Amino acid sequence: MRHEGSLRRPDVARAFEAVPRHRFVPGVTLEEAYADRAISIKSDGGETLASISQPSMLARMLELAEIEPGHRVLEIGTGSGYNAALIAEIAGTSAQVVTVEVESDLSEHAREALAACGYDNVRVVLGDGREEVPGEAPFDRVIVSARANDVARAWWQQLRDGGRIIVPLDIGAGGEYAVGFTRYGDELRSVGVVHCLFVPLRGELGTAPPERVFTRTLDVRYGSQPRPIKSILAVPTTAASPELLERADVVVAQPQTTFAVTWG
Ligand code: SAH
């Protein structure tokens, strides 16, 4: 990883060196476990339900997250538990990591692997990550490990003001991007965007197509060609006003969150 030059933050680099990835994907060769590839860990009739993510992609997302020692971090989509371990390494022993997984077998395996590797500050919660985890908010960081087409209000509400959320978003704007947002009250402002590839979040936020798309000019052909995203301003859909279009090239109104996208 390091020799490919993809890591800029030393804390992220150290985390990749520290976490034994093979402990989170039993039954594969050492070579497979340390290749820069995603590995499917659960599928159903040919459809991948969960995978251990590609390390270089996780690295870029974790760099975007700028996790600091002592942070409280919420992860949605535990899967193997590998990313939770990386987060725990970066946040350190004084931190609390809460990770939510909807599949009970995966949740159990991840809990065991994390405990076996000594990550006692990671709490693995079985449940639907689209809902709030009772008694744990606020978090400094929220990291979503599955593809969504909306930002759940529950994620937003569990994030402290000034905190950061990283979410793999596919809102029809030319592909799937992990977008890092900082919360300013009732606004999320993007701080960076990286290409990514995730399995969809189970439930509504993972599958519904974009609901309502607004553009100012007819020649902005939404979704026809991948266009680089420069920035996204996100607000609760209940608070979205037409003025958003004055600040963006395209506005996508999803059920919970409205995204004002500026192309690069
Ligand atoms: N972070 C993982 C990658 C997980 S893949 C790793 O490092 O290995 C995405 C995971 O999200 C899958 O395990 C899937 O079961 C889980 N998931 C999907 N929808 C979910 C939901 N609504 N709530 C919680 N977890 C969900």
How crowded is residue 45: how many other Cβ atoms within 10 Å of its Cβ? 5
Chain-wide mean pLDDT for the chain? 90
Both structure tokens of 223: 């979704």
- Global model pTM greater than 0.85: yes
DSSP symbol at 204 = H
What is the 147 CA–ligand 1 centroid distance (Å)?
Answer: 9
Q: Which of 54, 119, 145, 256 to mutate to test the pocket of ligand 1 (most atoms within 8 A of CB)?
A: 145
What is the 55 CA–ligand 1 centroid distance (Å)?
Answer: 16
Q: For residue 244, is pLDDT > 90?
A: no
Q: Classify residue 132 by burial, with Cβ atoms within 10 Å: 0-12, 13-18, 19+.
A: middle
Query: Is residue 131 within 8 Å of residue 236, measured between CB atoms?
Result: no
Q: Which of 51, 80, 101 to mutate to test the pocket of ligand 1 (most atoms within 8 A of CB)?
A: 101
Ligand 1 first shell, C-beta below 6 A: 49-53, 76-77, 79-80, 82-83, 100-103, 106, 128-130, 145-146, 199, 201-203
Tell me how far apart the alpha carbons of residues 225 and 210 are, in angstroms, rounded to a whole number.
Answer: 16
Residue nearest to atom 4 of ligand 1 (CA): 79
Both structure tokens of 26: 């039993």
**Better pLDDT: 218 or 146:** 146
By residue count, the chain amounts to 264
CA atoms within 13 A on the CB side of 182: 7
In angstroms, the Cα distances linking 120 to 98, 123, 179, 235 are 11, 8, 29, 36
What is the 215 CA–ligand 1 centroid distance (Å)?
Answer: 33
DSSP symbol at 22 = G
What is the 242 CA–ligand 1 centroid distance (Å)?
Answer: 35
- Percent of the chain past pLDDT 90, that is, above it, reads 72
pLDDT in the model for residue 3: 43
The average pLDDT across 5-9 equals 73
pLDDT in the model for residue 84: 98
Digit-coded pLDDT (tens) for 107-150 = 999 999 999 999 999 999 999 999 999 999 999 999 999 999 99
pLDDT in the model for residue 173: 62
pLDDT in the model for residue 215: 66
**The ligand 1 atom nearest the CA atom of 106:** 13
Q: Provide the annotated active-site residues.
A: 53
The DSSP string of 36-101 is SS-EEEEEETTEEEEEEPPHHHHHHHHHHHT--TT-EEEEE--TTSHHHHHHHHHH-TT-EEEEEE
Digit-coded pLDDT (tens) for 170-195 = 887 667 889 999 999 999 999 999 98
